[in-house]
Amino acid sequence: MIPHETWLEMAVELALESVREAGGRPFGAVIVKNGALVATGVNELHRTGDPTAHAELQAIREACVRLDTPRLDGCTVYASGHPCPMCLAAMHLCGVDACFYAYSNAEGEPWGLGTAPIYEQLAKPLAEQSLYIRHMPVRPEGEDLYEVWARTRKG
């Protein structure tokens, strides 16, 4: 079995390669299942302009395609940096079992790469967050959205 440190080194090497060769942000991710490499990803914001193109999400997208499932149960994510709240939420949503990261939020903070302020915002009740977010239960006439989904979904 390959040790966690080896997979983490791979994630950091991917990040270094992305920085050196493409001018990307310093983030790489590796997804492993049953001791085998499933997918990799690097931050592609610089290339795509997509602020959600984080290394972990790119790797999750690739893993889901390769495994032909939206579930990543049994998988481990190895990330060069502390996953942001968006990436952490994605790991929860798709069932990743574990995540290891090489660089902490505190280490990224001096470089403008920490996400601790976002974690702090998300820990507050919705009404106290800096993003204005409110529930407005508007329902157009006709069929209920979730009832239609329940009737038409497969499996």
CA atoms within 13 A on the CB side of 69: 11
Task: Tally Cβ neighbours within 10 Å of residue 139.
Answer: 8
- Nearest C-alpha neighbor of 93 from the set 133, 131, 135, 60: 60
Rounded to whole angstroms, the Cα distance separating 53 from 50 reads 5
The question of whether 5 is a catalytic residue gets the answer: no
Structural contact between residues 84 and 118, judged by C-beta atoms closer than 8 angstroms: yes
152: which 2 tokens? 């038409």
User: Phi and psi at residue 93, in whole multiples of 5°?
Assistant: -65, -35
Structural contact between residues 15 and 78, judged by C-beta atoms closer than 8 angstroms: no
- The residue annotated as part of the active site, out of 5, 9, 56, 141, is 56
**Known catalytic residues?**
56
